[in-house]
Structure 1
Amino acid sequence: MSHKRIPKRKAAIAVGGVAALGAAAFLIPMANASQDNASGATAAAPKTLKATGASDLAAQLQEQLGQAFAGSYYDSGKQQLVVNVVNGDNNVIVQAQKAGAVVRQVANSSKALETAAQTLKTKATIPGTAWAVDPKTNKVVVTADSTVTGSKWDTLESTVQGLGSDMATLKKTSGSFKTFVSGGDAIFSQVQNGEVRCSLGFNVTASDGSPAFLTAGHCGVAAKDWSDTEGGQPVATVDQAQFPGNGDFSLVKYNDATTQAPSEVNIGNGQTVAINQAEDATVGTTVFRMGSTTGLHDGQVTGLDATVNFQSETDPNGVDTVTGLIQTNVCAEAGDSGGSLFTQDGGAVGLTSGGSGDCTSGGETFFQPVTTALQATGATLGDGGAAGAGDAGASADPSATAADPSASAADPSASAGDQAGGDQIGGAADPSATAGDQSGTGDVSGTGANDQSGANDQSGTAADQSTSGKHHKNR
């Protein structure tokens, strides 16, 4: 299939094809259990904060309080930041309260929780396990998927019990932890075993000033050259990639330095959310994920600095351990990897890495923090080239789209090529194309090379990416 290069055409970011398997259910914020005020009724009233403000305040207090700081979370019902302090004297408590936080005294320090996590790494690095600090319970929450059985389960259980019930808890989750490759604005690469399909995350500017984008690291490790169409000529090349280890992110530079790459997320139906800044995740914050397989879904951040032990794809007896991830209850499926995690206010939070479950029964999904990826690659969030006038629609409210089953995120008739004003990376969108036809050519016959695995057929499975005898690796 020939690939038409239009050098200055706008590159649409990280947004999934608008065919969702089901409409996202917008989570109504629920107040957390009331917290005791550490210094009595005379304390200053906590500030009412949006999620971005809570994230900024949490970072500020972590620096100010030092070893007394033991994590924080956002009470979305009350719109307040709750800060844990350990053995804090009254000055520490007053300092946090004056800054506008609700203060809660807890037993476990951040250092003690980190030590517990290190014990798990040493004794229980088992494929299908994950752990993260939960500031609401002030414990390390350890999760095991359905593959952890027999002696593996016994080892994990005894290790957690050895840490003590006041330090760690163990739970089971359905399905198995795996990387969710494919999804977002679909990007493709030809490899020896067939074709790899991943997702564009957020557009950025590389340290040398060239336009680029972030995506999952396991995509960048799997292939070097990426196209915006199935079987098309490469339009971008991997510059840096990290996976496994301390993160799951790649920096991919557009081959054409004049490519315009607007900083926005398309949530379907001609609506976009402007991405204004990168921000750290805060437990309790409502976040939105966009992916080509399942569309727009939302949920909450449930843990930070998560460690996930994926079964190695290259070694049957190996494990790919990734650290420093964000844990959420947002669903995802094969085809959503690399896609964008963002806030209602336009904060770039994460890149889809992997997890368990699906968008029918639910599950847990882990994300690479955008702030860490930017720092590691030297890239900056923002346009690689200024978008032309009228290219981007008005910034939309993702919660409205996520809650509305009639919105395009759940509309299989919507055009997957219609990204951020009707343009794809490599060519104009064909309005007759279905969500499964990512090539923009409008081939919906199910027999052409552009037909993505029955994605036009809503009864098809997310994992089935094979078309015309080609092998697609779901990443």
Structure 2
Amino acid sequence: MSHKRIPKRKAAIAVGSVVALGAAAILLPNANASQDGSSTDAAPKTLKANDASDLAAQLQDLLGQAFAGSYYDSGTQQLVVNVISGDNNNVVVQAEKAGAKVREVKNSLATLQAGAKTLAADATIPGTAWALDPKTNKIQVTADSTVTGSNWDRLTSTVKSLGSDVAAVKKSSGTFKTLVSGGDAIFSQVQDGTVRCSLGFNVTASDGTPAFLTAGHCGVAAKDWSDSENGEPIATVDQATFPGDGDFSLVKYNDPATQAPSEVNVGGGQTVQITGAADATVGEQVFRMGSTTGLHDGTVTGLDATVNFQSETDPNGVDTVTGLIQTDVCAEAGDSGGSLFTQDGSAVGMTSGGSGDCTSGGETFFQPVTTALTATGATLGDGAAGAGAGDDGAGTADPSASATDGAGDQAGGDAVGGGDEGAATADPSATAGDDQSGTGVGDQSGAGDESGTGADDGSSLTQTH
């Protein structure tokens, strides 16, 4: 895996750790109100995205094989649940009484999953990706700009064999790649130079010691990590998965007394308090922090995505990663491992890879936090103050108050290495984008090189590699 050298910058780690999700104690009180299969006039409930995710999980159990996926309609704030046409009126009534909007579709989850297996067997080509799209009830296949000639013919032939009602393919102008460097930066010195990645979320390892999650390709690239480019290592990789069933690493702090904040720094002395971990829902709004591009928002577009990265160690190889979240949030080199989260403070993912940039857009893929927690045995942190210095009294931010499409100004430098005491709470939606905080370089922590304004500033949270 090749890595570029980067100029020396002072950087601190803006991190989020999370407590157990207590979101919706949910939404099925009337699910058994009608057992006779009769129709119901129950109107779909207005739900927050997290509540919709919890309801979808419950309805998947309730509907069984009739369940064919679900998505969140952010315009109406309703959960839309796909069901297979057939003699399923009773469970449909229950789903409607639970508060979902139900629609009948042709393709079952089993059909779509079988199609994905065919793609994996016959079209694992560098620069391709596919994910299940419940809005279209199809497998959406994407090919980047490197997929041409016989590879393009092979891909389109495989998609065609599945049928136009099962799968569709589109071209992406960019190139799928992992982006080692970025986030509120963590650094490692390797033979070829400096590797920079982003810290995702603070956690507690299964043995009770403090740790954090980041991208797996970062953990594969280097073992020892620092919070400054030439600083002493502060953490060591304990587990790393890449490629394969995910892209995540568990990295343990070397000092067992380390405490880390349950928040994501979005710049300008503002933080987003992380209140839980949640599964992504197609259609929901999400926010991403990255050291190259700052805070950005977008929408979840697919789940259980498979991405075939060109191998960086084998010119003829493919690094296939499965089980990812697909979004339209922009990303650029320098954001790997950083945090993907919701406006109300749920940890959703860590940046894995993608195509495009924050000028033209593209597709970006994230490792689900919930899957990484299960695989590593880690639990989300307890909200203690940041290691080193932290933001004393820092509150939570509303990402939507700052999310547009620019960059830089949001990157923070005050979580693990120096801090804005008494930092105010932030609204990420008010700060994600070109002028995330509306302030100039250096406003975040009193020095320009900690504000994350440049592509090589190691100062914010996530993106892909």
Partner of 1:400: 401
CA distance in 1, matches of 2:49, 2:175: 31
| Alpha-carbon distance, 1:422 to partner | 4.5
Shift of 1:383: 3.1
| Counterpart amino acid of residue 268 in structure 1 | G
Q: Which residue of 1 aligns with 2:73?
A: 75
SS in 2 for 1:118: helix
Greater Cα shift, 91-100 or 128-137: 91-100
Q: Does 1:278 align with 2:277?
A: yes
Distance 2:167 2:13 in 1: 45
Question: Counterpart in 2 of 1:66?
Answer: 64
Q: Report the AA paired with residue 14 of structure 2.
A: A
1:403, distance to aligned residue in structure 2 (A): 4.4
Task: Indicate the percent of aligned positions where both proteins have the same amino acid.
Answer: 74
Which amino acid in the other structure matches residue 309 of structure 2? F
What are the Cα deviations for residues 131-154 of structure 1, in whole angstroms up to 9, with x where unaligned?
000000000000000000000000
**Could you say which residue in structure 2 is the equivalent of 1:139?**
138
Residue identity matched to 1:282: T
Q: Partner of 2:363: helix, strand, or coil?
A: strand
Tell me how far apart the structure 1 counterparts of residues 240 and 203 of structure 2 sit (CA, whole Å): 15
- Mapped partners of 1:105, 1:80: distance in 2: 16
Structure 2 distance, partners of 1:70, 1:86, is 6
Q: Equivalents in 2 of 1:441, 1:464: separation in Å?
A: 14
The answer to whether the 8 A contact 1:210-1:384 is kept is no
Q: Give the 3-state SS of the residue equivalent to 1:52 in structure 2.
A: helix
Give the number of aligned pairs.
409
Letter of the aligned partner of 1:402 in structure 2?
A: A
Look up the match of 1:31. Answer: none
After TM superposition, what 4+ stretches of structure 1 lie above 6 angstroms from structure 2?
434-438
Q: 1:390 to 1:229 in 2, by over 3 A?
A: closer
The one of 398, 411, 414 aligned to 1:418 = 414
Measured after TM superposition, the shift of residue 401 of structure 1 is: 1.5
Counterpart CA distance in 2 for 1:314 and 1:379 is 30
C-alpha displacement at 1:43, in angstroms? Answer: 2.5
Paired residue type of 1:51? A
Q: Which residue of 2 aligns with 1:391?
A: 392
The normalised TM-score by structure 1 is 0.80
Q: Which residue of 1 aligns with 2:160?
A: 161
Residue 233 of structure 1 corresponds to which residue in structure 2?
A: 232
Equivalence map 1:166-245=2 (5 Å): 166-245=165-244
Distance 1:77 1:192 in 2: 50
Question: What's 2:14 paired with?
Answer: 12
Change (3 A) 1:390 1:296: closer
The answer to whether the 8 A contact 2:16-2:261 is kept is no
Q: Secondary structure at the match of 1:70?
A: strand
Shift of 1:421: 9.9
Displacement of 1:190: 1.0
Greater shift, 84-93 or 55-64, is seen at 84-93
Specify the code of the residue in structure 2 equivalent to 1:418: D
What CA distance in whole angstroms lies between the structure 2 residues aligned with 1:117 and 1:268?
40
Secondary structure of residue in 2 paired with 1:402: coil
* 1: CA distance, partners of 2:276 / 2:156: 41
Cα separation, 2, equivalents of 1:415 and 1:148: 34
**1:464 to 1:297, Cα distance in 2 relative to 1, 3 A:** closer
User: Which consecutive unaligned segments of at least 5 residues does structure 2 have?
Assistant: 1-11, 18-36, 421-439, 459-463
- Offset at residue 195 of structure 1 (A): 1.3
The separation in 2 between residues aligned to 1:208 and 1:99, in whole angstroms, is 40
User: What is the CA distance between 1:86 and its match in structure 2?
Assistant: 0.8
Report the AA paired with residue 73 of structure 2. D
Distance in 1, Cα, partners of 2:269 & 2:106? 49
Structure 1 runs not aligned, ≥5 long: 1-9, 16-38, 425-433, 445-450, 466-473
**In 1, distance between residues paired with 2:370 and 2:65?**
23
Give, in whole Å, the separation in 1 of the partners of 2:270 and 2:89.
Answer: 49
Amino acid at match of 1:117: A
Superposition map of 1:249-260 within 5 A: 249-260=248-259
Per the alignment, in what secondary structure is the counterpart of residue 231 of structure 1? coil
Q: Kindly tell me: are residues 437 and 353 of structure 1, through their superposed partners in 2, closer, same or farther at Cα, counting changes over 3 Å?
A: farther
Residue 286 of structure 2 corresponds to: 287
TM-score (norm 2): 0.82
What SS is found at the alignment partner of 2:102? strand
Cα distance in 1 for partners of 2:84, 2:217 equals 38
Letter in 2 for 1:266: N
The CA deviation at 1:66 is 1.1
Structure 1 contact 216–337 (Cα < 8 Å) conserved = yes
CA RMSD across the alignment = 3.0
Cα distance in 2 for partners of 1:230, 1:394 equals: 28
Cα distance in 2 for residues equivalent to 1:73 and 1:415:
31
Contact 1:249 1:373 in 2 (8 A): yes
Contact 1:268 1:419 in 2 (8 A): no
Contact residue 272 and residue 420 of structure 1 kept, 8 A:
no
